Amino acid sequence: MDLQSLANLFATTYNPDPNVQKTGELQIRKIATQEGVLTALLQIIASDGVELATRQACSVYLKNRVHTSYILPSNPRPDHVPIAQSDRTALKANILPLLAASPSRSITVQLAATLKDLVAHDFPERWPTLLDDVKRLLGSGDVREVGAGVVAALECVRAFRFRQKADILPGIITTLFPTLVTIADGMLNTSPSQPASQEIPAMLHLILKTYKTAIIVNLSKHQQSPESLVPWGRLLFRVVEMSVPVEGVPSDEEERENCEWWKAKKWAYGTLGRLFHRFGNPSQLPSPMQKEYGVFSEHFVTNFAPEIFKVYLHQVELYVSGQAWLSKKCQYQIFQFFTECIKPKSTWILLKPHVDTLVASFAFPQLTFNASKQAMWEEDPVEYVRASIDEYENFSSPVSGATSFLLSLASNRTKTSFLPMLQFVNTVLRSNTTPPQRFGALTMIAVLGPFIVRHPDVKGSIEQFMVQHVLPEFTAQEAYLRSVACEVLGVVTKAGITWSSAENLTNHSRAVALALDDRELPVRVQAALAITELVVVHDSVRDAVSPQVGKVVQDLLKLSDETDLDMLNHCMESMVDRFQNELLPVASQLTARLCESYMRLAREGLAQQGEAAPDNIDVESLVSEADDDKVYGAMGVAKTIGTVVSSIDSSPEILSQVQEVIIPIIRFTLENKLIDLFDNMYDLVDALTFRLHTISPNMWPIFELTYDLFKNDAVDFLDEMLPSLDNFVSYGTDVLKARPDYRQKVLDMYRTALTSPQLGDNDKINGCKLAESMLLNLHGHIDDQLQDIIAIAADHMDKGETASFRLANLEILINTVLYNASAALHFMEAYKPRLAHEFFNQWFAAINGENKLPRVHDKKLSILALCKLLEMEASAIPDGLRDGWPGIVVGALNIFKTLPQAIARRKALEDELVDGDSEDEDEDAKYLNLEGEEDEDVWDEDSAYLELLAKEGARLREKSELAEAGDDESDTSEESEIEEELGFFSLLDAINPYITFKQALQTFQNKNSNLYQAATTMLTVEQQTMLMEVVTLAESQAQTGQS
């Protein structure tokens, strides 16, 4: 196909006629993998004679084709066609010149993403000239070529930004970064009136982004050296301190936030913060990083950190006094740096004299009610609620930065900072200030509430504060004050405020109950959150709300539908849990309403999935943009439905009704393959089938759907599906016995779990659990499948990377013995010579080994299977195994010897689980730092967590390096111990192994007296004593009826 025809074909992809589009796309698919097509696309993109939209379409296709087919996958699909070598050569030869000649930013974005994939795969071995080519562009006198070099440098770094091993990126940094810093310095010396000046902020932004991207994981030796650190540090300070030219930025503040100059400043602030936070803060540097960065961090904190602090403080002074403007993202970065300065002694000494001023003039104004908050409240109250409640999670919001700053001061420098902050709040509230400032002061109380309630000097006065400053705001004219009053009450209630006066508690709870009917939506949401906390903590409030709980729940449902806020689902869960008896009569109606909400959200989520993703999307924007609100909302509603199901556990009739209401949403989710919601749906299936102990006719289509999904789109969801599948087998035995096709489906899922190359050992273990459920629950009804199960297990006897899987697989064969001992041994011998012998060797190695059958279930299963062997007719015992038959009794006694300890360990774990749920630890120490010297380094939970992460990262890197070197020692000593599964239930739980063994021993004596004689004669004195103890225990437990 000639270039013009190919260009015309790609032009059809944006044709307004969908039929033309579809025809064009099909034609492109047919020719796409032909050699030479990508080379032709490069020519079209470079051609000024082709329409810009067509060149854009070609660049998008080029990026996608390279991304999916340049790097060969380890398990390629049969239809996968790799990119031809001639096209690979053309790509590398033309991509940099194309970047320099790119006619639009959108095409540059596509070409940059293409370049990153080429670099990641081919540099350095298959593209040794790359850095020289990039350096040549950077040294060019042509501004477009320099711009292309800057883009290429960024993509070279991005290709290896997450690489733990410092082997490739340091070379890129050493080669390109000295040139980049020189270019950036020159740009700052260029007059804004010069022709190229409009290109400067964009390139400067990309250069700074390149540096910050390079220090995500490591700081190279070159970057640690004065030769690099000094010029880059000087550049970063210049960018932070520069006055942005008025003609270079928009007058509109929102547009100014996103202009290139302020993007450059944001990256400068962020880079200085990253250098200090990860590499330059010795008191917080994790121990695995000390060797590599210890000297650097000492140098940085001594020479650079004070300078950063001085510069940032000056910028804040200019901003606060109105002499300069700061973007929100820059303010956030400044707050982040100040927050990092709190824990190290060296920087705390710098910050300490300025804390009161920074709190009052920089942090507090962020929390006041301002014009932008007012506008959002009026234009989109739902968005206001979402922004105000999720603000602390917003990584570019100065409100989030100010909040983190205040929290860190309160928890780490409690003795110096906490009481002055409260004094400041009191001064604001007592000085007849404006409503927006009162809002800010109360917001500070909401932030500091958990600390106030725990601080020994002030917790006694919080009740009086609530009466004096919070209660009156419930009737304030300003709706935002009513909202923050609800928020403060919710926070201090959750934190554990002690009310000395029942009247004060009643007055506050009544006020918040009235706020549920407020005309303003944000007030109603905060009231819902607060009333939930009150109901959970105080029985008196619960009793007062009880007669009105139906209305409260309806209000919550209405609010939830209006806002799709996940925290309202949490409120609903708490209400359902707290008012189980009151809501029981209306459980079906409540569930129906919740299911309506779920279906609305699921349908909207489905519609979102159907929308085409933009072609120039960046990973960072995917992470930061919350496009999954509907899906998350649906997850929350599903959890609430699960809480309803748990709360009506005691009423099977109502639960059956509720189940019929829920089944349609499960079917909808599975049929429409809403994979993000599968986990929630299978939780519901599990809860319903387990609690009802039966499978309703309408639930069986869910089983069929599950099988179809597992065989196609959801093969890796077996972990989520397993509890439900186990319930289908356990409680649907009558149907399974009558439906050979259903039994075949279960067997096929087991086979797929063990044979699919996509699944690992954990999924294989789940497959084994499913097969075990069949063998235990369908006794006598899977005779025709026994041979297949044995064959599958036998094929995996010496496979698997973990001890857990090897044991699970061995136990399938043990289960077949329990199911039908003589048939199982016969099938083993028939499938593979000496298979039964090998099975017995492995089984008895586990029986006689130390802790090889660690769980109670493992031991019981083996004992009961050994009992089946003892009960076999003499004629059915295979000749090759007869000589070892007397050893069965010894094997059983060895298991009995360790069974009591295993039962005791399981009981201890169960008790620990119960105690852990009810434990109410004193958490004061987590909030307040009242011990030790005030100005010393602080090492808190966050510091300890980072230390833990660093140590684990170092361990995994070392393990990976050993594996690469062929010296991997990942044997059983590194295996995690096989632990008890407290949520696992089995038919074996009801069987008493002592009584069963005693009966089997009697049968063994009656049927095989010679073998019985041999078995008992070979016992040692210790084993004879053990046998007597087992028999005695069996007799006593038979009398008391124990299992």
pLDDT digits (tens, 9 = 90+) for 880-901: 888 889 999 999 999 999 999 9
Q: What is the pLDDT of residue 775?
A: 97
Mean pLDDT value of segment 270-292: 95
Question: b or e along 352-372 (b: 16 or more beta carbons within 10 Å of the residue's beta carbon)?
Answer: bebbeebbbebbbebbbbeee
981 band by pLDDT with thresholds 50, 70 and 90: confident
Does the structure show a pLDDT above 80 at 74?
A: no
Residue 170 above 80 pLDDT?
Answer: yes
Specify the pLDDT at position 81.
Answer: 84
pLDDT tens digits for range 429-477:
999 899 999 999 999 999 999 999 999 999 999 999 999 999 999 999 9
Establish how many alpha carbons lie within 13 A of residue 954's alpha carbon, considering only the half-sphere containing its beta carbon: 13
Tell me: pLDDT of 399 over 50: yes
pLDDT, mean over the chain: 90
932 pLDDT band (50/70/90 cuts)? low
HEC profile of 363-374? HHHHHCCCHHHH
The three-state secondary structure class of 191 is coil
In 3D space, the residue among 99, 87, 95 whose CA is nearest the CA of residue 146 turns out to be: 99
| Percentage above 70 pLDDT, the chain | 93
Which pLDDT band holds residue 540 (cuts at 50, 70, 90)?
A: very high
The DSSP output letter for 43 is: H
pLDDT digits (tens, 9 = 90+) for 360-388: 999 999 999 999 999 999 999 998 998 88
Q: Which two tokens stand for residue 705?
A: 């759907």
Q: Token pair 């010795």 is at which residue? A: 282
Does the structure show a pLDDT above 70 at 624?
Answer: no
Q: Name residue 1003's amino acid.
A: T
Closest to 550 in 3D by CA, of 512, 593, 518: 593
Is pLDDT of 621 > 70? no
Comparing C-alpha atoms, which of 502, 503, 514, 450 is closest to residue 476? 514
pLDDT of residue 950: 84
Please give the pLDDT value at position 919. Answer: 45
Helical segments of 321-418, H only: 328-340, 345-351, 355-358, 364-367, 371-379, 381-390, 398-412
The stretch 754-758 carries a mean pLDDT of 90
What whole-number distance in Å separates Cα of residue 329 and Cα of residue 49?
Answer: 42
High-pLDDT (> 90) share of the chain, %: 77
Contacts of 310 (CB under 8 A, 6+ apart): none
> Which residue pairs from 223-228 have beta carbons closer than 8 angstroms and sit at least 24 positions apart in sequence?
223/173, 223/177, 224/279, 224/293, 224/296, 227/178, 228/177, 228/178, 228/181
Residues 411/451, Cβ–Cβ less than 8 Å: yes
Q: What is the pLDDT of residue 947?
A: 86
pLDDT for the residue numbered 964: 65
pLDDT of residue 2: 87
Answer yes or no: is pLDDT of 195 > 50: no
- Give the pair of three-digit tokens for residue 437: 């400032």
Give the residue with greater pLDDT, 631 vs 341. Answer: 341
Q: Which two tokens stand for residue 277?
A: 């936070």
Q: How confident is the model at residue 963 (pLDDT cuts 50, 70, 90)?
A: low
Helices and strands per DSSP (H, E), number in the chain: 55, 0
Highest mean predicted confidence (pLDDT) among 393-407, 507-521, 912-926: 507-521
Tell me how far CA of residue 522 lies from CA of 466, 482, 490, 1038, in angstroms.
21, 9, 14, 65
Give me the mean pLDDT over the 524-533 stretch. 96
Q: Which amino acid would we find at residue 717?
A: F
pLDDT at residue 490 above 90? yes
pLDDT of residue 1040: 82
Cα torsion angle, 501, 502, 506, 509, sign = positive
**CA distance linking residue 282 with residue 957, whole number of Å:** 23
Highest mean pLDDT out of 236-250, 487-501, 919-933, 956-970? 487-501
Structure letter (DSSP) for residue 283: G
- Which two structure tokens, joined as six digits, stand for 682? 């299978």
Instruction: Please report, as a single letter, which amino acid is at residue 664.
Output: P
Contact 606, 674 (CB under 8 A): yes
Q: What is the pTM of this model?
A: 0.83
CA distance 173 to 162: 15
CA 542 to each of CA 164, 524, 545, 589: distance values in angstroms, whole numbers, following the listed order? 54, 19, 5, 22
Query: What digits encode the pLDDT tens for the residues 684-741?
Result: 999 999 999 999 999 999 999 999 999 998 998 999 999 999 999 999 999 999 999 9
- Cα R_g (the chain), whole angstroms: 35
Residue among 287, 291, 235 at smallest CA distance from 264? 235
Q: Residue 612 — pLDDT band, cuts 50, 70, 90?
A: very low
Whether the predicted pLDDT of 539 surpasses 70: yes
User: Does residue 920 surpass a pLDDT of 60?
Assistant: no
**Does residue 945 surpass a pLDDT of 70?**
yes
- The three-class DSSP label of residue 580 is helix
Residue 626 Rama label (left phi>0; alpha psi -120 to 50; beta)? beta
Q: How far apart are the C-alpha atoms of 656 and 664, rounded to whole Å? A: 14
Is the predicted pLDDT of residue 873 greater than 60, yes or no?
yes
Evaluate whether 57 touches 11 at the Cβ level (below 8 Å): yes
Is-contact 177 122, C-beta < 8 A? no
Tokens 């120039």 correspond to 616
Q: How many whole angstroms separate alpha carbon 772 and alpha carbon 815?
A: 7
The C-alpha atoms of residue 593 and residue 602 are separated, in whole angstroms, by: 14
- The two three-digit tokens of residue 884, written as one number: 């070892």
How far separated are the first and last CA of the chain, in Å rounded? 78
Question: What one-letter code names the amino acid at 54?
Answer: T
For the range 739-748, what are the long-range contacts, defined as Cβ-Cβ under 8 Å and sequence gap of 24 or more?
A: 742/703, 743/774, 743/778, 743/781, 743/782, 743/785, 744/785, 745/703, 745/704, 745/707, 746/770, 746/774, 747/771, 747/774, 747/782, 747/785, 747/788, 747/789, 748/707, 748/711
Helices 37-46 and 3-11, packing angle to 10 deg: 80
Say what the pLDDT of residue 695 is: 97
pLDDT score for 253: 86
Q: What is the dihedral of CA 201, 203, 204, 210, to 10 degrees?
A: 140
Question: What is the number of alpha carbons within 13 Å of residue 473 lying toward its C-beta?
Answer: 29
Structure confidence at residue 628 (pLDDT):
60
- State whether the Cα torsion 88-91-94-95 is positive or negative: negative
CA distance 288 to 218: 13
| CB of 118 closer than 8 Å to CB of 127 | yes
- 8 A C-beta contact, residue 686 and residue 724: yes
